[in-house]
Structure 1
Amino acid sequence: MKIAFYGSSLLSSYWNGAATYYRGLLKALARLGYDITFYEPDVYDRQKNRDIEAPDWCAVVVYKATPHAMMQVAARAAEADIVVKASGVGFADDALLRAVLDHARADALTVFWDVDAPATLGQLRDEPDHPLHRALQEIDLVLTYGGGDPVVWAYRAMGAAECVPIYNALDPETHHPVGKDMRFACDLAFLGNRLPDREARVEAFFLDPALRSADQRFLLGGSGWGDKQMPANVGWLGHVGTRDHNALNVTAKAVLNISRDSMAANGFSPATRVFEAAGAGACLITDAWLGVDLFLKPGEEILVARDGEDVAEIMQSLSAERAKAIGTSALRRVLGEHTYTTRAVLADAIFRRHFERPTVEAAE
């Protein structure tokens, strides 16, 4: 089956946290036999900051950020059996969604794939005239990369015919243990771009603990932090390309995950960073969110902090030996239960069920 996938970027993770998710899941789907074309706009300097070139498991079409170019690629939805419009593409999202739905064949499966469902749902609640309200009446399937039952129930209440979370996971070919790199030597590292709905939590869970831990070294990676006032023991790395993520994760004694506001409030939304770090065998500390125990066991495979004081206390007592043991346990768990291969099997079953329904109904 052919998939036309309209997303932010497959080739670049620059200001694009969904890249790891797209790569892992679409590669796994391609191995199940899907013929995939990914359409991404040339915006936010992503093409100047590519992490990868077009892979052999997926065709990639980069289009100019103009209405005409957008309409041209939207028309190609007619070639696909499955048409996917992801959230947060970054250029004319509402118009793109309308265009791909208009061009999709009547027998195609139409999918809205939400990579930030708590935020999207919040916007829908605030904007009763948002175009997605109408589109949900036409779309066959909503998939999300997190959110659990709260997101499923909310989307069904908004009129979605079906909503299923396909969670983030690990691609062990991309994220795995490597040798240490002393550029990233530190006690605690955090990777994340500076975003309005994350900054206060970064202050609380990372910068405040750094102030409490003057004898330890903290490293911050991500774009947008250049003018942020930081404690003297915090080093800023700027944008850290995906090629360096494994080295950073294995070199730091511990790695911190900080959820965005909406995802922390909703729960059941493990970030891609959780599985990247676990896949490298890192000792991961996460801010507390509902459902973390569905993915990793607190205290044994991940450490959970309710606030910045918890982070500081964990770092004061965390030995290198315990950090290594936690990382080893996390790696074992994600390899066994949380790879993109297992997520793709679920997505494949969902797709096939949709295509089989008309045959079943006709037989009745």
Structure 2
Amino acid sequence: MEALRMRIVILGLSMTSSWGNGHATIFRELVREMVRRGHDVLFLERDMPWFAAHRDLPLPPWGRTELYQDLADLSDRFTQDVRDADLVVVGSYVPQGVEVGRWVQATTRGIPAFYDLDTAVTLAKLARSDFEYLSPDLIPGYRLYLSVIGGPMLRRIERELGSPAARALYRGVDPELYLPRPSADSWDLGYLGTYGADRQPTLERLMLEAARVWRTGRFVVAGPQYPAVVRWTSNVERVQHLSPSQHPEFYGAQRFTLSITRADRVLAGYSPGARLFEAAACGVPIISDVWNGVESVFVPGEEILLARTAKDTLGYLRDLSEEDRRTLGAKARARVLAEHTSAHRALAVEQYAREASSGAAAAGTPVERLIV
């Protein structure tokens, strides 16, 4: 069965600005693919000053993107869109997300869904009664709980939090943008990521300690918000910010790239980060920290390299043959193209919507526009 054209409304953190967040790129790629597949998509973004000052895509070319000022403005201008949509998705970290979620669930006649791009953080917040953008009473009312963490966490969301259907929706990647762009190697190892206090010890252990040992090695860290107290050696170059369009060229200038998983995602497992798929699609060999479920995404030793110490990192950088290095990168790219593109994620959303609409048919939810 093929999905018919859906009317979709997404209320997300941002699509116009990738500054300091990974949400924008994820939404851009998902919306683009949904539009390509014939769906009518409206993306609603709260107009926040920090995004307004750093908009690298002020007018997204896919579907329709609108900014709103506050909850009153949202309700005044977009009630009809939300009411008539087949699928309404609220993302994590949406400002006043609890109020937005209540409004969506009370307004839409379609399927209300929550897209948690921060699942481990969200569950930790709920455990300490921090209801910044999601509260326990909302979860049963979201007929889909889409999560960037898969595996056993999904069953926990259903059993303990009352979600009718928790489903994995990992980050996809655009193979037309993220593709190999070989260049003269500028760095032996690079890392792309905004500063995170939980990730910094791993960056220190896997890269910065290696840089101190191998002083002739060339390293680079790209991303904002690193504090002045971080000690950078002279062989570690710093890049403050890269827009998504610059990522492939950045990856192409590295012999290897480093992938670091947030501490809470390491504990949760089954949580591939956004940069992991980007780098693999660009064909650059990946050195990753170790987390449960990585083997469900890439084959260790064949498609990805795992490191626990600086010694592990240096072993890969200095001892792996050029032929093996290139083969590993090519195999990772092949896996991404086969299973992890944005088109795959759009298909997953259609399938999840099909399941949700079918299961809710007895409650009177219209399904004829969703399913052939």
> What's the TM-score once normalised by structure 1's chain length?
0.90
Question: In structure 2, what is the Cα distance between the partners aligned to 1:219 and 1:78?
Answer: 48
* SS at structure 2 position matched to 1:314: helix
Identify the residue that residue 173 of structure 2 maps to in structure 1: 170
Name the counterpart of 1:43. Answer: 48
Aligned identity (percent) is 29
**Where does the alignment leave 5 or more consecutive residues of structure 1 unmatched?**
none
Segment of structure 1 superposing worse, 77-86 or 199-208: 199-208
Contact 1:156 1:162 in 2 (8 A): no
Q: Partner letter of residue 93 of structure 1?
A: G
Name the counterpart of 1:135: 138
CA shift for structure 1 position 110 = 0.5
CA gap of 1:73–1:16, structure 2 versus 1, over 3 A, is farther
Which residue number in structure 2 is paired with residue 189 of structure 1? 190
Letter in 2 for 1:159: G
Distance 1:167 1:158, change over 3 A: same
Q: What is the deviation of 1:168?
A: 1.8
Q: What is aligned with 1:154?
A: 157
Any conservation in 1 of the 2:150–2:167 contact (CA below 8 Å)?
no
Which residue identity lines up with residue 51 of structure 2 in the other structure? R
Deviation (angstroms), 1:33? 2.3
RMSD between superposed Cα atoms in Å:
2.2
Q: Distance in 2 between matches of 1:285 and 1:96?
A: 39
What is the alpha-carbon distance in structure 1 between the residues aligned to residue 131 and residue 249 of structure 2? 46
1:201/1:72 CA distance change after superposition, 3 Å = farther
Matched residue SS, 1:14: coil
Which fold has the larger relative contact order, with Cα–Cα distance below 8 Å and residues 6 or more apart in sequence? 2
- Any residues of structure 2 matched to 1:319-358 within 5 Å, and which? 319-358=321-360
Q: Distance in 2 between matches of 1:239 and 1:263?
A: 24
Instruction: State the alpha-carbon separation in 2 of the partners of residues 51 and 325 from structure 1.
Output: 34
CA distance in structure 2 between the aligned counterparts of 1:152 and 1:28, rounded to whole angstroms: 28
Residue 29, structure 1, aligned to residue 30, structure 2: no
Pairs aligned (count): 356
In the TM superposition, residue 44 of structure 1 has moved relative to its aligned partner by 5.5
**Aligned partner (choices 249, 252, 266) of residue 251 of structure 2:** 249
TM-superposed CA distance for 1:83, in Å, is 1.1
> CA deviation digits over 1:112-160, x for unaligned, max 9?
1100111111111221877510111222110112232224323431111
Alignment of 1:208-219 (within 5 A): 208-219=209-220
**CA shift at 1:318, angstroms?**
3.1
Q: Which amino acid aligns with 1:215?
A: T
Pairwise CA distance, 1:347: 1.5
Q: Which moved more, 1:15-24 or 1:257-266?
A: 15-24
Quote the Cα distance in structure 2 between the aligned partners of 1:150 and 1:97: 22
**Could you tell me how far apart the structure 2 residues matched to 1:204 and 1:44 are?**
36
Aligned match of 1:96: 100
Counterpart residue number, 2:367 = none
Aligned to 2:65: 60
Question: What SS does the aligned partner of 2:112 have?
Answer: strand
Query: Secondary structure at 1:253's aligned position in 2?
Result: strand
Q: 1:266 aligns with which of 265, 268, 278?
A: 268
CA-CA distance at 1:359 after TM superposition:
4.5
What SS class does the counterpart of residue 175 from structure 2 fall into?
A: coil
- Is residue 222 of structure 1 aligned with residue 186 of structure 2? no
In the alignment, the residues of structure 2 paired with residue 72 and residue 56 of structure 1 have an alpha-carbon distance, to the nearest angstrom, of 25
Q: Distance in 1 between matches of 2:220 and 2:266?
A: 22
3-state SS, counterpart of residue 115 of structure 2: strand
**Residues 282 and 232 of structure 1, relative CA distance in 2, 3 Å threshold:** same
1:20 Cα deviation from its structure 2 partner: 2.3
Mapped to 1, the partners of 2:10 and 2:39 lie a distance apart of: 12
Deviations along 1:282-330, whole A, 9 cap, x unmatched? 1111111111111111111111112333223322323443322211111
**How far apart are 1:53 and its partner, in Å?**
4.5
